[in-house]
Amino acid sequence: MSNDKMIGSPNFKWFGLAVQALVVLAAQPQCCPSGEIACRLHSEATLLRRILSKLACEGILETREGRDGGYRLKRAPEEISLKDIYLALEEKGPYCSAMLDTTGDHAFGREMHGSFCTLVQEINENVLQVLERHTVADLM
């Protein structure tokens, strides 16, 4: 289960599942239950519900309860960039921030920490630029 927790930056397992779930939903105009999506992805429904709830909180999905309930895209697939999904899942800190934890609290470590901060910021900006160029529709 610890592999599924998001610590620091988006967990790319969660990101991959989120993108696939949105592609599944984009192909269906009606609401789709999480169990059905999980079945298509060969994933666990509970984990998928946690991911989908984050996307719903960020306005990417709408939810419907009841017998005919489930999830549905709130926007057209062409309007949902992979950056939107990434940022919806992001909880704290930039991508690769774990690098900063390796520097230590000594003279050399503090010096490297400053260099790593610049590097991590550049990596994060580039990741977001790449993700912004792709949409859910591109993956359908």
Is the separation of the CB atoms in 88 and 11 below 8 Å? no
Check whether 46 has a pLDDT greater than 50.
yes
Q: Where are the domains of the chain?
A: 2-139
* Average model confidence (pLDDT) across the chain: 86
pLDDT at 96: 66
How many angstroms separate the CA atoms of 2 and 14, rounded? 12
Nearest to 63 by CA among 83, 41, 43, 37: 37
- 137 or 90: which leads in pLDDT: 137
| pLDDT tens, position by position, 67-126 | 888 999 999 999 999 999 999 987 545 566 677 888 889 999 899 998 898 888 888 888
- Reported pTM: 0.79
CATH code: domain 2-139 is 1.10.10.10
Q: How many CB atoms lie within 10 A of CB 25?
A: 25
pLDDT at 91: 54
